[in-house]
Structure 1
Amino acid sequence: ITNYQSPITNHQSPITNHQSPITNHQLPITNHQLPITNHQLPITLPNMYCINPKCKNFTNPVNTNEKYCYNCGIPMLSQGRYRAIQPLNRGSFGQTFEVEDIDSRDGDTQKVLKVLLTDCDRAIALFQREADVLKQLNHPGIPRVEPDGYFTVSVPDSDSLLHCLVMAKIEGINLKDWLSDRQDQPITCEQAIDWLKQLTQILAVLHQRNFWHRDIKPSNIMLRPNGQLVLIDFGAVKEVTKTYLYSLQHNSGTVIISPGYTPPEQARGQPSQYSDFYALGRTFIHLLTGKHPLNIEDSQTVQFNWRTDVPKISKKLAILLDEMMDESPCKRPQNIQKIRQRLWEIEHPHRARLNKVMQVGIGTSAILVIIVGFVYKITASCPVQFKDNLSCGEESLLTTPAPPEKQKGLAELGKNNPKGAIILLETALKKKPNDPESLIYLNNAKLAGQPTYTIAVAVPIDKNPFTAKEILWGVALAQNEINQGQKINGKGLKVEIANDANKPEQAARIANKLVLQRELLAVVGHYASEVTRSTLEIYQRHQLLLISPTSTSGALSQHPFFLRTVPSDRLYAQTLVQYLINQKHQTKAAVFYNPQSNYSQSIRDRFQVNYKGTGGQIVAEFDLSNPEFNADEAINQAQNQGAKVLVLLPDGRTNEFVFNNTLNLVEANQCRYPMVGGDSVYSKDFLTLKATNCLVIAIPWHEWSSLNLQFPKMARKLGAKDVTWRTALTYDATRVLITALEKNPTPSRYLVHKALKESTFQTRGATGEITFHPDGNRKETIRELVKVVKVNCPNYNYVFSPLTMSNERIEKLACSGNW
């Protein structure tokens, strides 16, 4: 990165030359309040707080610009990366801070730092236990702690150490406060079942590692804005002010008691996994009644008559909760799977009865009749249905013009005539080779009657057909390579195409259909981060792996059934900052983004943290989703506030205004200001004179600098005209699935997921070696800075090229067509 030459130095002087007309119009701008019309966003620079609990002035504003605390002398940047920006809760044993991680390795910059406020050995042991447990766990319902998340900080002129633990920040509210905000209005039985399923899934992960929580209660359960529950406080340190720690006189262990929730055996110092079941049952009694368990239990008779407060509860759910809270551990459900099975039976009484009938044994024909009645929703892969935004070849989802032979070939597939379809599709591809959909359906047709593995690819056809084709080409190339070669364990690869329209709602509907296809083993997709995020819980519930080649938002990390071949946006924000600071020496920027977009907000946050951490300043921010956005006025406002560079971070075309507003901004700028952008700016629409030599974009890969020269050659030989980073990363995603399928002759969803989660998993693709971190992020650092360049070629006037490539080399590659 640091060796890149700057193509836009010569374009800085016009900024100064245009200042006088802007100055003349300052009064009308002020009078019309253009910053409001343009949705200019306020810039807030975080304060910095000292984390030393004994510091006499830990909120001293002077510390914001200091390396060491002005009062006590400890580093203001813990471990060289954590900046405390807001104090949160403080109790007798612990203080928590919200911190910025300026060197985040998991994509999330906002985290929580817990500082122990006591030198008590027992408290330190609990604190360290929490860190040790969380390091070993990887689940969206458990706060993530990195391997180096626990550390100590020396205090100057003192022998004491600060014990610190950094973990992922959980957005939301704990259930105790949530219930209080509702004036203790009870939850419904349906809500209770849903939440019980979530929490038992979290406990299953915990118990499989031979851990048990020991302090389950509403205040230790967080509710995220998306409805997901998170279990917190694995060492009982944060809530220790409300939890009694009893040191046993003849036992080296620690007893943790939360009155109303702790089971009798735990109070005696003999906890087990069954203790968690008791506390979980008591927690849901609190939620279902709106009353603390101590307010239900009769202190005289010790009877726990809670059912009268929940008159509409189902009998089976009430029985389950009573069994979970039995005084005797041996009478409680014996493992978490038993509880989950009981919950399933409560939700699906008809199927539960079916299972019991099948267990006692009845005639096969009768079983089949019942199965048709109750399990009709479960389907084979690639069901032949029309206008459902899913297709294995019975209909075209692309709306671009195609030869008549394509439609005739698809009609033959719909009639189950693969031989006729093959002839017609081969003819269509000869007439129009740049059609990845036809190539996929041709390969599917050739597999008719043969054993196959099936995967799906979800693309934004309705909203962005060009991007959809880029992604489809990646899958088509990998599928064709396998089916024309040795295949996978002797089986071919069938591909189902799904059109999610780049809309979260439609993507969720698509996901709900895909998970019911019993032979479908994995999904490649989706495109935009917010679209991908809308499907993760659906795929996770059905243990269907999703691997995305394009979704970079840091918020997607740590979902157990999600991987991505593209690095997180942290890398690309960092790349842009390094370019601006080290090569352009630009320290004042105006940022344009969509604060409503998961991706756009994520890369903006990472850019801000890195830019500020290296001496840069964001002097203005603008909302690209504003329908009244005026590019000329925004540029004027940015200049008036001292901006010297424009940072373009639009969404992945999920908002109807953002992309056009970004195009208008580039057009209005006319290269007066240098511009940099995230990977969502990588589009043919920006290949214009107004972006030439003044727009630099951070992307994962470019074919002209590819180490795998065979991949772009293979793509062009089969008909692909544009081999972009989206094509390469999708090819890589498909290669990852192929490698996982090869590891077992009879792969299932579970075995595919298991293979990919092995620490030794690796494969190679268009972008080189591919391996993954435990949280699903790719390990390899793949990035490229590209610029817009004008060329004199018969078919091209402007191209994206690597930033360091010479104009002579660019012209030669662009015009030869032999890339």
Structure 2
Amino acid sequence: MAYCINPDCSQRKNPDNCAVCQACGTALLLQNRYRLIHPLQLETHSYTEVFEIEDLLERDRPKVLKSLKNITPDLLRLFEQEVSILTNLQHPGLPVGETLFPLFLQTNRQLRCFVMEKVPGENLQTWLSKNQYLTSYKTALDWLYQLVQILEFVHNHGFFHRDIKPANIMLRPDRKLVLIDFGTARQLTQTIVNNKPVTVIYSIGYTAPEQMQGQAVLQSDFYALGRTFIYLLTGIDPAHDSRARSFNWFKNIKDKKIPQSLIHLIQMMTDAEPQRRPPTAQAILEKIANIKNKKYPQVQGLKYYLMITFGVLITIGAKLIYEKISLSLTCDYVLEDHLSCGEEILIPDTFTQSNKPPVEKQLAINQYRAKKFPDAISLFTIAFKKQPDPETLIYLNNAKIQTQFTAAQIHTIAVAVPLGQSTTRGLEILRGIAQAQTLILQSGRPLRVIIADDHNLANGITSKNARHIAKKLVRYRDLLAVVGHYSSEATKETLPIYHKAGVVLISATSTSDGLKSPTFFRTVSSDRIAAQKMATYIFSQLQQQKAAIFYSQDSVYAQSLSAAFREAAKSLKGNVINKQRAFNLDKDDFDAKAALNQVKSQGGTAIVVIPDAGVGLHNAIPYALNVIHSNVNQAWIVAGDSLYDADLLKVDKIRSPQGIERTALAIAWHPMNDPNSAFVQKAQILWKIPRKALATNTEISWRTATSYDAVLVLNKAITQNPTRIGIQKTLTHPKFSVTGATGVIRFEGGDRKNGPITMVVVRRYCNSSEFVFTPSDFTPKDGKNCGEW
């Protein structure tokens, strides 16, 4: 029989002699060599399918193919992680990965296919269904030793499994164990928690408590492994029987000769608190060696049960007392919580596919995670020299701080950026953060930075949303302040959380006039200032008589700037066309050409374009770019700062070169305003931007400069009064000021006082076909001499 790989096919079984599926026409021979024989795993609600296959080039080697049938960034990342582990890590306890390839079906559906070794034997879930339990603790000890050795190897290479259970452990005919299914994409399911859907990796009865909260750590693997051995020793499945999850599960152990020390080890591994579990796989191996080499007393009835129960009660009491008197600290080495001081990479793999980070970066991450900071420093330094990304520099600075200062000397802030949703903008912000942190560290002050990826969703369906991140950050008792969030929407949602906790939130990018709180400050000018500059530019400088506003009518930022522009236009006697449905950038059926023609028919000669920030659930930036690229009527277009993006300058998208040269944007800062400043010169060195490339650069943006300033502001406030309330009081003092990249920063009611706004225009670079942003009042000395730009 030949099996069809198309998950939508109505009849997937086919005779052996068929070349294509009889039901859907999908080719049955993949890559001209792989034929699906029969399914090993087909689940309706699963994201993957697994098949036993025949390889026509290696018929004597049994293989399986796993296909990812629903491709999303998160699922693809997990799937590719499994591929990376099984193709790069060679260990007798791991399957051998062979190849990954994409598959495009006739229905336009895409699959990812991974071919790997078929491990002979049966999984332990199947074994348990036949044998019920282990009759000898010695077998349990041997199996535990094998599996911990595998985990030690995997953990030392910077990975962990997250879904250990009997079904994911294969028993080979030679009695050796193999750990399978590292992708966990199959278990990535929508679960309801507190009436809100969240994405979790969860196996009932085996998943550690912290992992169910989205905070998996290496010790989460030990918890799941301990639960697995409770099943093996008692025959009671933790997934279906509460007796396996009770404190006295050991009463049901079948082999009464089991040493107390082995029970104690499994109790430690399954402790509810990860910090009370064995810290490493090596620690477990040492305990197993002690059990094998020494004679321990066997279980002796009620006396031992009472001893264990009493110990558990003491542990519970200690936990309650601990929670009453203590909150967690930052940089807690919890993985996959979307927060990192250096223990994991947050820049998504999908962004770095075309420009892979140096291998030294991941090696440095592994050393940082192991608290081997000198080794991490050496590796981060090499990685940054090879590829100067700001995440690496922040982690390098953090590692230096850990080695040069005591815990009492270190001050910690966080930066919340939309790395997952808009990596480019997130990196622009991080460049400013990293440059400021480097300057501060060079002056002898330890300012540690924790990066938080909020995906910029204000209150979305994933755990990577701004409110979720804010709630986690304020619980860290050593966190002093936060830089963020990127969009006005996300900032608006989080302000009550920071205000309640007394944590200062200083935004370098959120401009909405409606953002107000005693603990909120910003280094970027508000929409009221930007709108006045835009209106003056259109009605006074360009002498235009009538303007229309294309904006995202559901966006907090776009609503704010649109309303402020109308007010500013009124003060200048400017005429603004009334709000119309055709001008709504939030519409799925927005038609740029029709909207432009509608403006022309109503006598408009200027258009204000204000999309949302481009990182929320709806992204109107592509529609806004289409307006500019389609400006064949050559109306004047003035845009808000959310459109300051390299995509605007892409030559292949521009349908009217003359029209795009009639485009201006109101932004907080441009590097060519002061190319000789210390900030710009240092930024060019750090990020390897040649002097002659300053005009074409989009890496050092207004977001970089205002974020740099935000860190300088916090550093000065922390130096004067290093407490949450002290920072807030310092920033509200009328004489407080800091000189940064964008000038002198002072605050009035939390807003930037007399903050700068620069009008930039799009013009040709050096008489070429390339377009660049330059200040509107910039005139090169010689347009043919690129060095003068």
* TM-score, with length taken from structure 1: 0.52
Q: How does 1:324-343 map to 2 (within 5 A)?
A: none
Amino acid at match of 1:541: K
Amino acid at match of 2:607: L
Q: How does 1:336-355 map to 2 (within 5 A)?
A: none
Label 1:477 to 1:676 Cα distance change in 2 as closer, same or farther (>3 A).
same
Counterpart for residue 381 of structure 1 = 330
Which of 705, 708, 712 lines up with 2:673 in the alignment?
A: 705
* Cα offsets for 1:302-336 (capped at 9, x unmatched): xxxxxxxxxxxxxxxxxxxxxxxxxxxxxxxxxxx
Counterpart for residue 790 of structure 1 = 764
Amino acid at match of 1:799: V
Shift of 1:615: 1.9
Distance 1:520 1:708 in 2: 35
Which of 611, 618, 626 lines up with 2:569 in the alignment?
A: 611
Label 1:657 to 1:726 Cα distance change in 2 as closer, same or farther (>3 A).
closer
Amino acid at match of 1:804: D
Counterpart for residue 377 of structure 2 = 422
Which of 448, 458, 469 lines up with 1:494 in the alignment?
A: 448
Shift of 1:569: 0.6
Counterpart for residue 282 of structure 1 = none
| 1:381–1:517 Cα contact (<8 Å) kept | yes
| 1:692–1:787 Cα contact (<8 Å) kept | no
Which of 744, 760, 774 lines up with 1:801 in the alignment?
A: 774
Counterpart for residue 613 of structure 2 = 652
Distance 2:784 2:726 in 1: 48
Residue 754 of structure 1 pairs with residue 729 of structure 2: yes
Which of 379, 383, 404 lines up with 2:359 in the alignment?
A: 404
| 2:612–2:619 Cα contact (<8 Å) kept | no
Which of 599, 607, 611 lines up with 1:638 in the alignment?
A: 599
Shift of 1:555: 0.2
Shift of 1:792: 3.7
Distance 2:726 2:667 in 1: 32
Residue 777 of structure 1 pairs with residue 775 of structure 2: no
| 2:525–2:751 Cα contact (<8 Å) kept | yes
Distance 1:807 1:670 in 2: 27
Label 1:479 to 1:560 Cα distance change in 2 as closer, same or farther (>3 A).
same
| 1:706–1:767 Cα contact (<8 Å) kept | no
Distance 1:462 1:369 in 2: 35
Counterpart for residue 468 of structure 2 = 509
Distance 2:491 2:527 in 1: 15
Counterpart for residue 177 of structure 1 = none
| 1:801–1:810 Cα contact (<8 Å) kept | no
Amino acid at match of 1:527: Y
Q: How does 1:208-607 map to 2 (within 5 A)?
A: 369-374=319-324, 378-399=327-348, 400=352, 401-433=356-388, 435-449=389-403, 450=405, 451-487=409-445, 492-505=446-459, 506-557=465-516, 559-607=517-565
Q: Secondary structure at the match of 1:769?
A: strand
Label 1:664 to 1:626 Cα distance change in 2 as closer, same or farther (>3 A).
same
Distance 1:546 1:368 in 2: 34
Q: Which deviates further from its counterpart, 504-513 or 716-725?
A: 716-725
Q: Secondary structure at the match of 2:778?
A: coil
Which of 690, 704, 718 lines up with 2:686 in the alignment?
A: 718
Q: Secondary structure at the match of 1:553?
A: coil
Distance 1:504 1:810 in 2: 45
* Cα offsets for 1:785-818 (capped at 9, x unmatched): 1001111499x92211011111446765xx44x9
| 1:693–1:788 Cα contact (<8 Å) kept | yes
Shift of 1:720: 5.6
Which of 653, 661, 665 lines up with 1:693 in the alignment?
A: 661
Counterpart for residue 729 of structure 1 = 706
Distance 1:395 1:466 in 2: 19
Shift of 1:515: 0.2
Shift of 1:742: 1.3
How large is the RMSD of aligned CA atoms in angstroms? 2.2
Shift of 1:369: 4.9
Label 1:810 to 1:442 Cα distance change in 2 as closer, same or farther (>3 A).
farther
Q: Secondary structure at the match of 1:547?
A: strand
Distance 2:782 2:417 in 1: 34
| 2:745–2:755 Cα contact (<8 Å) kept | no
Shift of 1:406: 0.5
Shift of 1:582: 1.0
Counterpart for residue 53 of structure 1 = none
Amino acid at match of 2:443: G
Shift of 1:645: 1.1
Distance 1:436 1:565 in 2: 20
Whose RCO is larger (CA < 8 A, sep 6+)?
1
| 1:555–1:602 Cα contact (<8 Å) kept | yes
Label 1:365 to 1:629 Cα distance change in 2 as closer, same or farther (>3 A).
closer
* Cα offsets for 1:514-555 (capped at 9, x unmatched): 000000000001111011111000001100110001101000
Q: Secondary structure at the match of 1:697?
A: strand
* Cα offsets for 1:558-579 (capped at 9, x unmatched): x000000111011111111111
Unaligned runs of 5+ in 2: 1-313, 460-464, 690-698
Q: Spell out structure 1 runs of 4+ moving beyond 3 A.
A: 364-370, 373-376, 688-692, 807-812
Shift of 1:697: 0.7
Residue 765 of structure 1 pairs with residue 765 of structure 2: no
| 1:553–1:569 Cα contact (<8 Å) kept | yes
Shift of 1:459: 0.5
Distance 1:757 1:579 in 2: 33
Amino acid at match of 1:713: Q
Q: Secondary structure at the match of 1:534?
A: helix
Q: Secondary structure at the match of 2:607?
A: strand
Unaligned runs of 5+ in 1: 1-363
* TM-score, with length taken from structure 2: 0.54
Shift of 1:494: 0.5
| 1:588–1:617 Cα contact (<8 Å) kept | yes
Shift of 1:403: 1.0
Distance 1:603 1:503 in 2: 20
Q: Sequence identity, in percent?
A: 39
Shift of 1:671: 5.8
Shift of 1:692: 3.8
Aligned pair count reads 442
* Cα offsets for 1:224-263 (capped at 9, x unmatched): xxxxxxxxxxxxxxxxxxxxxxxxxxxxxxxxxxxxxxxx
Distance 2:323 2:530 in 1: 52
Distance 1:610 1:709 in 2: 32
Q: Secondary structure at the match of 1:504?
A: coil
Label 1:473 to 1:671 Cα distance change in 2 as closer, same or farther (>3 A).
farther
Shift of 1:620: 4.8
